Amino acid sequence: MKRSFSHSSRRSASSFNSAFEFLNFSLLILLSRHLHQQRSSFSVNSFQVYNGFNNFPLEPNTKYRLMMRSFAKADGRRKDEFDKRAPMGEKLTRLYSDSALTEPFTTRAALRSGAKTGGVWLIGPLIALLIIAILIGMLVCWWLRCNKKSAGRAHRHGSITKVALTGNIMNGLPGETSKLLSTDTYGRSVMNPYEQMNGHGNGHMESSMDLYPLPRSQSRSGAGGGNYAPVPVPLPCLPSSGGMLGTHLVTHPAVPISELAQHIERLRLNNNAGFQQEFESIETGQQFTWENSSADMNKHKNRYANVVAYDHSRVVLSSLDGIPGTDYVNANYIDGYDKPKAYIATQGPLPETFGDFWRMVWEEGSSTIVMLTNLEERSRVTLLETTVLAHYTMRAFRIQVIGEMEMREIRHLQYTAWPDHGVPDHPTPFLIFLKRVKTLNPPDAGPIISHCSAGIGRTGAFIVVDCMLERLRYENTVDIFGCVTLLRSQRSYMVQTEDQYIFIHDAVLDAVNSGSTEVPAVKLRQHVMALQQVAPMEGASGMELEFRHLSTLKWANSRCSIAHLSANRHKNRQSAVIPYDSNRVIMQIIPGVEGSDYVNASWVDGYRERGAYIATQGPIEQTVADFWRMVWEHECAIIVMLTKTWELGRSRCCEYWPQETGAQVGQLVVEPIAEYNMREYILREFRLSDVQSGISRTVRHFQYTEWPEQGAPKSAETFLDLIQQVIVNKDSWGKKPW
């Protein structure tokens, strides 16, 4: 049905809201009909008629916001070209994608004849003077920074750099913060939404990228607001801090995200000398009082004598029967981005504070507990379920006050991949964990309770990273230095080591460059379709650009010194494809044999367990014995071979298994038991025996035969069938690596 808007309807668009509603409806119809037939630009205010719809001129001196909606092309199998089959239980919906609203713009005022422009000549010189003043100020700041002295120091934890995609990727595909930041479903203005950058609209990535849902009652404190704006924190100069009073926010301004990678590189020079100087200049904050922590009745409740709860920010429990000290727990409120008391930082509970800890959970109305250390199991709280994944474990508890009817469910998320000493090798699993925490925590819940052992080191790192990622949704800068300073004014020693301070920077940079890459299963099809679209300015699809981005990643723990030893070089099929020292598979040393602990193989984490796989090269003649020794020592029950022995006239893998009779390789005997030729793979069974002990094991060998010598398999179905068979065998044969 054709419609046109009357002139009176157009006049009603003088206000901002009505103008938006008018354009949102009329221009949407025009575009959907006009651009459906041809690719061209569309001019608003053109006075033209499209299929019976009038493109009216815009009102002068009026605010407008624009958006565009694109519908999917008609499918001959469907009756309605705009309808799609929704998931079971949902109504039919239209398959379309909306762009984000543009920033408000104001149309020009109508020109009047004879208008004078006498003052225009003043604008140019004023702008030039302003630019010169800004440049001089920037040069002075740069000179002051470059002239800081940096002392030599020992090697410390290296920073991880993920290089952001360059070029014109922002014109069509995600880049920098685009994947990290998402539309605020609660109505707050988001500065850097993913949808504005990828051109695919809310329908593609909204649920997967909404890392930080916010309560409706929460309000912004200003356009550039936030808890960590450059306002001096009132901390006196302490002799032990190495800092100077009043210099923190002058010499450590917020860092724009476009300069974050370069900023981290500067701090990393000379073995992280910049990180050392910056970290040591942060005030300790220990000028605040902690009388409740030092009271005789409470001293035994502190895990560490020097890790105290400041009086002004401590969590105060309800007193029990007026008994002194029953209101005390070693915990402090910590402000988040734009939200006071967003977290509670506390120590790991002691046997004598176990009840106080759960009382705090109840009284504060908290729904989520974050644990960043090892666990001591206790049975005083009902455990509903446990989900164990490779890098973290999720638990659900039910708690209830004795004698009351109310029951609550508490989510307990424990990050298990933080090493006993130092920090994680790379921050990506930590960011995935952080996203899960934010997703599971209800918007109206009380503070997130975070603890490690002392509740200051890893807990501080967790809170700072979360605050900075939340800040990035609304601002284009980060202020890690200022955030740590503020945290230390609320709990002592927050962010305990320099390595943790470096890790925070690495995690924020990783999030900026790569964003959240997890995709909900229900959104996978749409996500893949989006990645297959070609970016006009790049001439490549999102899939290609994302793969290119992977090749730019640099890891700090990427040394391969063991593989390059003279005793091991001949064991590498390709000199460029070798294992990292940090995750290589290590075998038992054979006395008197140099390099006997080396094999070209690496541990790879799975989704549910760490070290679930061993990725290795196709054995060469010199490494057949090493290969079988690795299978034996690490109790591998399944081998998956994804190549033929010869491809493109070259040896890809030697035939390392016997065909008919058993063969001895080193101290092991390999005997063929059975062979089954399936449609897409060959299944072989071997008996592997140790000559010395006489112990035998059965090993299953899957060789996939459908992978062509060039390219990828034509169909994913056969490959998925292979994976399914391997999983079934793995589940029935135990949980050893394969």
DSSP 118-184: TTGGGHHHHHHHHHHHHHHHHHHHHHHHHT---------PPPPEEPPP-TTGGGTS--GGGTT----
Give the mean model confidence (pLDDT) for residues 47-52: 63
* Cα–Cα dist 469/446, whole Å: 20
| Position 5 pLDDT exceeds 50 | no
Give the mean model confidence (pLDDT) for residues 550-554: 81
Instruction: Print the domain residue range for 623.
Output: 569-733
Q: Domain boundary at 91, 106, 121, which? A: 106
- Say how many CA atoms lie within 13 Å of 330 toward its Cβ: 30
Percent of all residues in the chain with a pLDDT value above 90, rounded to a whole number: 55
**Statement to judge: residues 394 and 480 lie in one domain:** yes
**Statement to judge: residues 450 and 580 lie in one domain:** no
- Residue 338 included in any domain: yes
| Position 279 pLDDT exceeds 70 | yes
SS3 state of residue 706: coil
pLDDT at position 122: 62
Residue 664 parent element (H or E): strand 663-665
Q: CA-CA distances (angstroms) from residue 608 to 164, 371, 389, 630, 735?
A: 29, 18, 4, 23, 11
Q: How confident is the model at residue 129 (pLDDT cuts 50, 70, 90)?
A: confident
Lowest mean pLDDT among 352-361, 509-518, 613-622: 509-518
* Cα–Cα dist 718/295, whole Å: 69
SS3 state of residue 581: coil
pLDDT at position 518: 86
| Position 374 pLDDT exceeds 90 | no
- What DSSP designation does 418 have? S
**Statement to judge: residues 311 and 370 lie in one domain:** yes
pLDDT by residue (tens digit) across 203-247? 333 333 333 333 333 333 333 333 333 323 333 333 332 333 233
pLDDT by residue (tens digit) across 180-195? 334 443 444 444 432 3
Give the mean model confidence (pLDDT) for residues 29-46: 52
Lowest mean pLDDT among 390-399, 437-446, 484-493, 512-521: 512-521
**Statement to judge: residues 446 and 510 lie in one domain:** yes
pLDDT at position 327: 97
**Statement to judge: residues 510 and 528 lie in one domain:** no
| Position 170 pLDDT exceeds 60 | no
Q: How confident is the model at residue 136 (pLDDT cuts 50, 70, 90)?
A: confident
- Residue 384 included in any domain: yes
Lowest mean pLDDT among 127-131, 425-429, 554-558: 554-558
**Statement to judge: residues 505 and 538 lie in one domain:** no
- Residue 325 included in any domain: yes
**Statement to judge: residues 509 and 523 lie in one domain:** no
Q: How confident is the model at residue 506 (pLDDT cuts 50, 70, 90)?
A: very high
Lowest mean pLDDT among 7-16, 46-55, 103-112, 582-591: 7-16
**Statement to judge: residues 190 and 324 lie in one domain:** no
Of 16, 167, 215, give the one whose Cα is nearest residue 101. Answer: 16
| Position 726 pLDDT exceeds 60 | yes
**Statement to judge: residues 99 and 22 lie in one domain:** yes
| Position 19 pLDDT exceeds 90 | no
**Statement to judge: residues 312 and 364 lie in one domain:** yes
Strand partners, 450: 345, 370
Is the pTM higher than 0.95? Answer: no
Q: Domain boundary at 83, 106, 129, which? A: 106
pLDDT by residue (tens digit) across 377-400? 444 566 678 899 999 999 999 999
Give the mean model confidence (pLDDT) for residues 126-131: 78
- Residue 328 included in any domain: yes
- Residue 140 included in any domain: no
**Statement to judge: residues 481 and 527 lie in one domain:** no
The 10 Å Cβ neighbour count of residue 141 is: 13
Number of domains in the chain: 4
* Cα–Cα dist 737/730, whole Å: 9
- Confirm if 347 and 303 have CB atoms less than 8 A apart: yes
CA distance between the termini of the chain: 63
**Statement to judge: residues 29 and 11 lie in one domain:** yes
Query: At 683, which CATH number?
Result: 3.90.190.10
| Position 177 pLDDT exceeds 70 | no
- Residue 143 included in any domain: no
* Cα–Cα dist 450/467, whole Å: 14
The 10 Å Cβ neighbour count of residue 482 is: 23
pLDDT at position 431: 95
Give the mean model confidence (pLDDT) for residues 439-445: 95
- Confirm if 182 and 198 have CB atoms less than 8 A apart: no
- Residue 703 included in any domain: yes
Q: Domain boundary at 66, 84, 106, which? A: 106
Q: How confident is the model at residue 484 (pLDDT cuts 50, 70, 90)?
A: very high
| Dihedral sign computed on CA atoms, order 122, 124, 128, 130 | positive
| Position 251 pLDDT exceeds 70 | no
Q: How confident is the model at residue 99 (pLDDT cuts 50, 70, 90)?
A: low
Lowest mean pLDDT among 278-292, 443-457, 697-711: 278-292
- Residue 224 included in any domain: no
Q: How confident is the model at residue 683 (pLDDT cuts 50, 70, 90)?
A: very high
